Amino acid sequence: MKALEIIEAVRRGEKVEDDLVECKSDWPALSKARQLAGLCNKAGGSDVLLIIGLDEQTGVVHALPSTDPATWWASFQARFDEVAPDLTNHLRVAVGDGEFVTALTFDTSRVPFVVKTLDGSASIEREIPIRDGTRTRSAYRREILQLLAPTLALPAMSLLDANATVTWQAEVAKVVDGSRVQPECAWLSGHLNAYVEHLVSDLAMIPTHLIEARASFGDFALPLKVGIDQPPEVDAKHRGVDHRRDGVRITDPGIIRIAFDADIPLDRLAQADGGDECNITADFNVSGGARPIRVIASCRRQSSNTWPGGHNVTFSSKVT
């Protein structure tokens, strides 16, 4: 379940709040309806997950009062003008010995959402808020137009497996045109495979240059260079997932494969190869889509090899 994955990530010290997820230590007060509306407007049709009882800063789970989610949501709905997001699911989730959070899922397909203001001013009665990073502000005209425009239905994507290898190499003396080359260096390389559940007739295109990824080792985040993993020749009439040099063309369900690499600063090498976990986050931006499809792989330390003047450490994750 996504809520459990998020809770585990928070307890590892990762920041998980984004355009689709919000964590709250307690049931939000009515004054937070504007914040929820901004989150739902930013989601623009994708489901929003609200986790109640989890402190996103510390990972501490707080005991919640016996609040009926339906009653709480009814009071929140009154803050919205005419249309509110639909509360599609609410679930009490066990996350530890006697620890529980409440996970709420909202359908945001009826954007834009307008809230009634509480500033007491008769001249400002309603607002279209939108999430901007970690804050909520009034939407610009261009953002409102984007909310009203038809959007591409994004395919769901789930992780199959991923691996990453951290390699360190001491300085190697070689002579090329009379010069010493290959100084001490470290790098990361690996791949990620995900299954794309594309069940609509529309073509989806993920350009290579719009795939963004990073590797995290505790509080050290390393941006990755991404490429299409071994692109074969493409048959224009083939349906499925076609890997091309300029991106991935999706017409039916299938597997998407990416490769990644990055240079590791030597002063960060101990963090990269000294821990037990490497988390790979990949954001696939679909042409015409409002937001990326995110895939997260938690890779555990598997093996290490040492040779004169170098070593490597391999991390891998596989969903069974």
CATH number, residue 100: 3.30.950
**In the prediction, which pLDDT does 152 show?**
59
Please indicate, yes or no, whether residues 182 and 304 belong to a single structural domain of this protein. yes
Helix H or strand E encompassing 5: helix 2-11
CA 314 vs CA 23, 188, 294, 310: distances in Å: 32, 10, 23, 14
User: Of 95, 126, 148, which residue is a domain's last?
Assistant: 148
**In the prediction, which pLDDT does 179 show?**
62
Please indicate, yes or no, whether residues 171 and 299 belong to a single structural domain of this protein. yes
Task: Give the Cβ contact number of residue 136 at 10 Å.
Answer: 20
**In the prediction, which pLDDT does 176 show?**
58
User: Of 97, 131, 148, which residue is a domain's last?
Assistant: 148
| Three-class DSSP category at 271 | helix
**In the prediction, which pLDDT does 318 show?**
65
Please indicate, yes or no, whether residues 49 and 198 belong to a single structural domain of this protein. no
Q: Nearest-CA neighbor of 252 among 203, 301, 296?
A: 203
Alpha-carbon span 26 to 101, nearest angstrom? 10
**In the prediction, which pLDDT does 156 show?**
81
Please indicate, yes or no, whether residues 33 and 160 belong to a single structural domain of this protein. no
| Residue 300 structural domain | 156-318
Q: Counting Cβ atoms within 10 Å, is residue 183 exposed (0-12), middle (13-18) or buried (19+)?
A: exposed
For residue 159, the cross-strand partners are 194
- Reading the block at residue 208, the tokens are 């290579």
Alpha-carbon span 232 to 186, nearest angstrom? 30
Residue 110 per-residue DSSP state: T
**In the prediction, which pLDDT does 311 show?**
96
**In the prediction, which pLDDT does 192 show?**
96
**In the prediction, which pLDDT does 144 show?**
84
Per the rule left: phi > 0, alpha: psi between -120 and 50, beta: everything else, 53 is: left
For residue 217, the cross-strand partners are 220
Digit-coded pLDDT (tens) for 61-80? 888 888 888 888 988 898 99
Ranges in the chain, pLDDT < 50: 320
Please indicate, yes or no, whether residues 26 and 136 belong to a single structural domain of this protein. yes
pTM of the model: 0.61
The Cβ-side half-sphere exposure at 164, using a 13 Å CA radius, reads: 32
Please indicate, yes or no, whether residues 144 and 12 belong to a single structural domain of this protein. yes
**In the prediction, which pLDDT does 224 show?**
96
Please indicate, yes or no, whether residues 245 and 181 belong to a single structural domain of this protein. yes
**In the prediction, which pLDDT does 180 show?**
61
Residue 237 per-residue DSSP state: T
Digit-coded pLDDT (tens) for 96-127? 788 888 889 998 888 899 998 876 555 678 89
**In the prediction, which pLDDT does 320 show?**
42
Please indicate, yes or no, whether residues 134 and 221 belong to a single structural domain of this protein. no
Contact residues for 19 (Cβ-Cβ < 8 A; gap 6+):
39, 42, 43, 131, 291
Domain count, the chain: 2
**In the prediction, which pLDDT does 155 show?**
78
CA angle 159, 245, 201 (to 5 degrees): 60
User: Of 126, 148, 170, which residue is a domain's last?
Assistant: 148
Contact 57, 78 (CB under 8 A): no
Please indicate, yes or no, whether residues 178 and 77 belong to a single structural domain of this protein. no
Please indicate, yes or no, whether residues 167 and 142 belong to a single structural domain of this protein. no
Please indicate, yes or no, whether residues 193 and 144 belong to a single structural domain of this protein. no
Please indicate, yes or no, whether residues 165 and 289 belong to a single structural domain of this protein. yes
